[in-house]
Structure 1
Amino acid sequence: MSWKNFRIRLLGWLLHFDFSDDGIFYFTTIIVGALTGFIAVCFHVALGWAHYVLFGSHDLSEIHRAWYWVALIPAGGAFLSALFLHYFTPEARGSGIPQTKIAYVAHNGHIDKRVWIGKFLIGVLNIGSGSSLGREGPTVQICSGFASWVGEIFSLKRRRVQALVPVGCAAALAAAFNTPIAAVTFTLEELVGDLNARVLGSIVFAAVSASVVSRAILGNEPVFSVPPYALDSPLELLLYAFVGVVCALVAVAFIKGLLFVRSGWKRLWGFRGVVATGLGGLFVGVVGIWVPEVFAVGYPAVSKALTHSYALPFLLCLLVLKLIATAVSYGTGSLGGIFAPTLFMGAMAGGAVASLAEFAFPGFVAHPGGYALVGMGAAFAAVIRAPLTSVLIIFELTQDYHIILALMVANAISLALARYWHPEPIYSALSSQDGVALPDYETEHLLHEIHVSDAMVSHVITLPEDITIQEAIEKTKGSAITGYPVLNASGKLSGMASNYDFSQAQAAGILQKPLSEIAKKKYIMHAHPDQSLDSVMAKLGDRRISRLPVVSREDPTELLGIITAEDVIHAFGKVWREQEHHQHESE
């Protein structure tokens, strides 16, 4: 049985039991929530085994290999990973969160299975061999890609597949950190961009399901060994405010350094880029000979910083070396995330402030580990720019309300200063370097200034309404487009048909009926050439559709073209880049 026939039979089975579109979607959500949690756990465990096989220890601060192997293993892992990324899955490069957001906004949630499978395998090789990167970003793309794939297995509409991407994202983070509430808020803040999203219920359910799966397999132990905390004096809030300032400085230095290294690497073409990635791994390996704590995720070192096990000079050493090692690893094209390095740097910065205060004012700092913990939240807020998540993730890790006040003070200051010193969020900056610009609250006004005529596609694949459904399927076979205008005998627009409609017809066994019987005709949501792109995005979002036919104002049945969310993003990016270019020239 072919894969396509399997999908048709599965859909036919669901329709036989009278599953509605909503029923199929919620059934799919249940599957995604549980299985993505399991996949996230598998990725976590696979990384641990890779560490053990390559370095002889699950804890990379205690490596049992000769010094030359310590340098060569990260170099070899980075080089091999770069080869696989360059020749097989270039879309799997990087963190995974910007790529997932682009897929969600511009590609209706479609993530090719080659990408998320490659992300899993290459991620185990690259991070497992010591690259100074985290696992959470790749886990998000892996689980979101799996969710997208499951949606396509069940032949869901494009907008339903798109809705499954944040479901997979929330499940990934809930399983990775064992923090379901923070997973939900991050998904809404960063990926969806709307705290009142329609898929909120599905996101919450998936986060809880994934967290339950993770706890069942890995246990209910927290990710970090968290120290007891209490705010003994209100004056300590001044010191916590200083932690926010320090973390903002660290965050801006990290963002600027990473973007600088990456801009240089992106100018390299072909095999030279692969070699540069291997050299980046060699650099991290050489650093790791003396300071192996910089390798990979680095959570054992974070736990030691939280228990105040490091002296001030070593905290500063780890802070600087981790910042440089992560900028080099990510900037030279390695696969991995920046969540874990950000938390690492925040813990070291907060711990350094506590150690410095203890030296200057003996007895003033009651709980030094608390400063490392607050530093983690402040650094997260400054780098990731998800302020609500930065508070909730630390609260869930500690399960202690007493730390909230200090955390909010440090996070607010860190976020404000980081935005002032470097206004563009890191994920937006990374997407911009890749040539993709997504609208945000500062640039969305451009959508109102661009017209549909500047973004629409004029050459459209159309289908006559009098052909059979089977003929329509044959005519569109191999097309990357998922929806088609249907024209009557006069060449006028009479409806819209999609691949989803074709799948429904195949499952119902009505392929010999005319296409007009399944084409949507009642009211065709459309756009006009002189309308702005923000109105197009509003229509696409409100009706949960992935495309609009563009028609004449004088005759709404005269088809002029078609426009999708991807077309909108492409036109927006073009105008945004032109505006940035003119701004740089004027400066």
Structure 2
Amino acid sequence: MPQGRTRPSPFILFMRKLVSNDQLVITLLAVVIGALTGVLAILFIEGIDFFQTLFMGISGTRIAEHIGSMSWWRVLLVPTLGGLGVGLFVYFLMPGRNVKGPADVIAACEIGGGRMSVKEGILAMFASAFSIAAGASVGREGPAVHMGASFSAWISDALRLSRSNARILLGCGVAAAVSASFNAPIAGALFAQEVILSHYALKAFAPVVISSVSATVLAHQIIGNVKAFKLDAYQFGSYWEFPAFAGLGVLSGFVAIFFVWSILRTQREIQKIPGPQWYKPAIGGFLVGAIALWYPQVFGVGYEATDAALKGNYALALLFGLFIFKFLATVISLGFGFSGGVFSPSLVIGAMLGGAYGVIATSLLPEFSSGASAYSLIGMASVAAAVLGAPISTTLIVFELTGDYTLTIAVMCGCVLATLVTDQMGRQSFFLEQLKARGIDLVDNFQSVLLRQITVEQILKRQGAYINVDAPLASVRKELLYAPGGAVFVVAHDRRLYGVITWENLPEDIFDNHLDHLLIAADLADTNPPVLETDDSLDVAISVFEESGYQQIPVVSVTHGRAYLGCVDEREVMVAYNDALLRKRRQEQGAA
């Protein structure tokens, strides 16, 4: 681990002396992070408007009518050139040549100790603003989450906070970003804990909530208390509608599964196309532009189309058409390499699905129906909940976006059933599926995640039984008799590990005194023993123990030519894992 994390910064030490309470220090930092992240989130939205005005001559999210009045060649040209610009930006400037999002934040929180690059956060913010402004069918919540997390991680690194506190501040940054972007302080706090931190520990809950509130207050002072969707109050029809609501929830779950699969499959297939990656977003942009010639609502985050569906302004044909083509435009945009999130597109797709479902349900049983627009609300919440894997925070963010709580139980029913379908089908959220595609399975490999957080160096305490290469046989026998684990490590004169001696690889006449002056340790050693390096994780250590059958494994230096440093015992590895598991459980239960 970096040395900077072993001792707090002078500022943190000063604050501890001043307030004598670590929790209060983190809470004060949460206020600052909330306010500053709120400013960054607003600047991100303003940046989208700036680029969008530059490209299309209009700002804001209600652009469909303007797009429809643009020349056909311009509708094709803007996303095509925008895709080319995004491709070149990501290819030449973004570390790893990949777009960033919430999946990277989850990975940093679970296995990265809360460490992220602020440079990546800034670059990702620009790439996403450029993508959305150019018409890509992506959302702005993913970039906002990544930006808030990377900024808070930068502060944690600068103040040299512990791993635990760094993860808390990561949640604070995420909550503030969601809160300021969507005017949703409750959902922002719960999203950070449900999706990013994966627990509701009180130690983290208080700072995360305070950060979310801080960002919301600042956003209200700058842009006002504005709801994304302005709706008339819904009227609940009848409790006999609940089978229809449940059916929509189940259908939304299957749509979410296919949506996530389509994006990830498209990304894999596009990567197989020969040539550099930088030109591929331009192809995606051209295809999205072609769709927009008939359905201009697919451009951008899609709030205008969602608002119209929630007000019941779309007929069945348009609802179904937008469901198909917004789905397709989002898969193309993210599959071909544009930068952005999936939350806003999920809302649009769900609203269109729910609206079409509601029109059909209403036509069959009009006397029991709450109206097609009510089904749009349930559909948008259900699809988004299943895609994000966050039924609680998604339910709340939909209510905060709309300001309407009339259909609370119906929305909850749809969200829970949609998430249940994805779980029963063995699928995970979009973010966890992204990590799974990278070889990081946080659900099925919980043990490995914990073990990867601990290195061999952290538990290396045992010197072990060792002798020099030229030690006589009598010394070898003596060491073996008292060696814990029945292994003696043979070390060269330059401290390099030469091999290991166990009872199994000794000759039967080992106790024959006539051999004492004929054999030395080097003659008896297995010169190709299993070894561990100091930066190996305990996940690697357990695999080595299982394959070798040894009770103790020698540890060698990574930098000093296999210099022998000591050994680790299998029991020590299991104790370290058990301690990590207990810490995780205490954290989830609010005790840490």
| TM over 0.5, shorter chain | yes
Q: Measure the CA separation in 2 of the matches of 1:107 and 1:287.
A: 40
Q: Measure the CA separation in 2 of the matches of 1:12 and 1:215.
A: 30
Matches within 5 A, 1:288-437: 288-433=292-437, 435-437=438-440
Q: Which protein has the larger Cα radius of gyration, Structure 1 or Structure 2?
A: 2
Partner of 2:536: none
Matches within 5 A, 1:181-580: 181-268=186-273, 271-433=275-437, 435-440=438-443, 442-445=444-447, 456=456, 529-530=570-571, 531-532=573-574, 534-535=577-578, 537-538=580-581
Q: Measure the CA separation in 1 of the matches of 2:392 and 2:164.
A: 27
Instruction: Name the SS for the 1:235 alignment partner.
Output: helix
1:107 aligns with 2:112: yes
Conserved? CA contact 1:73–1:129, under 8 Å? yes
Q: Which of 51, 55, 61 is equivalent to 2:64?
A: 61
Q: Measure the CA separation in 2 of the matches of 1:426 and 1:312.
A: 28
Instruction: Name the SS for the 1:109 alignment partner.
Output: coil
Deviations for 1:64-99, whole angstroms, at most 9, x for unmatched residues? 532111111112112211212122214584451100
Moved more, 30-39 or 102-111: 102-111
Q: Measure the CA separation in 2 of the matches of 1:260 and 1:290.
A: 26
Q: Measure the CA separation in 2 of the matches of 1:350 and 1:170.
A: 28
Q: Measure the CA separation in 1 of the matches of 2:452 and 2:252.
A: 42
Q: Measure the CA separation in 2 of the matches of 1:322 and 1:296.
A: 10
What is the number of equivalent residue pairs in this alignment?
Answer: 470
Conserved? CA contact 2:237–2:370, under 8 Å? yes
Unaligned runs of 5+ in 1: 461-490, 492-525, 545-587
Moved more, 84-93 or 102-111: 84-93
- Aligned-pair identity (%): 27
Q: Measure the CA separation in 2 of the matches of 1:420 and 1:134.
A: 27
Deviations for 1:133-178, whole angstroms, at most 9, x for unmatched residues? 0000100000111111122333434443332111000111111121
| Deviation, structure 1 residue 436 | 3.9
Conserved? CA contact 1:29–1:202, under 8 Å? yes
Query: Structure 1: which amino acid aligns with 2:445?
Result: T
Instruction: Name the SS for the 1:130 alignment partner.
Output: coil
Partner of 1:179: 184
Distance 1:369 1:534, change over 3 A: farther
Distance 1:543 1:11, change over 3 A: farther
Query: Structure 2: which amino acid aligns with 1:213?
Result: L
Partner of 2:173: 168
Query: Structure 1: which amino acid aligns with 2:32?
Result: I
Q: Measure the CA separation in 1 of the matches of 2:358 and 2:426.
A: 26
Moved more, 247-256 or 394-403: 394-403
Distance 1:26 1:69, change over 3 A: same
Matches within 5 A, 1:27-66: 27-58=28-59, 59-62=62-65, 63=67, 65-66=70-71
Instruction: Name the SS for the 1:80 alignment partner.
Output: helix
Conserved? CA contact 1:28–1:151, under 8 Å? no
| Deviation, structure 1 residue 540 | 6.8
Compute the TM-score of the two structures, normalised by the length of structure 1: 0.73
Deviations for 1:205-263, whole angstroms, at most 9, x for unmatched residues? 00111111122222212111233112221112222122213212321221121121011
| Deviation, structure 1 residue 125 | 1.0
Instruction: Name the SS for the 1:198 alignment partner.
Output: helix
Moved more, 133-142 or 419-428: 419-428
Conserved? CA contact 2:128–2:339, under 8 Å? yes
Q: Measure the CA separation in 2 of the matches of 1:55 and 1:272.
A: 28
Q: Measure the CA separation in 2 of the matches of 1:438 and 1:197.
A: 27
Q: Measure the CA separation in 2 of the matches of 1:534 and 1:155.
A: 25
Q: Measure the CA separation in 2 of the matches of 1:114 and 1:246.
A: 40
Q: Measure the CA separation in 2 of the matches of 1:257 and 1:247.
A: 15
Partner of 1:473: none
Partner of 1:11: 11
Instruction: Name the SS for the 1:310 alignment partner.
Output: coil
Query: Structure 2: which amino acid aligns with 1:41?
Result: I
Cα RMSD of the aligned pairs, angstroms, is 3.1
Deviations for 1:556-585, whole angstroms, at most 9, x for unmatched residues? xxxxxxxxxxxxxxxxxxxxxxxxxxxxxx
Conserved? CA contact 1:451–1:529, under 8 Å? no
| Deviation, structure 1 residue 357 | 2.3
| Deviation, structure 1 residue 298 | 0.6
Deviations for 1:106-127, whole angstroms, at most 9, x for unmatched residues? 2211111210110121211111
Moved more, 417-426 or 12-21: 12-21
Q: Measure the CA separation in 2 of the matches of 1:540 and 1:52.
A: 50
Q: Measure the CA separation in 1 of the matches of 2:375 and 2:453.
A: 52
Distance 1:158 1:444, change over 3 A: closer
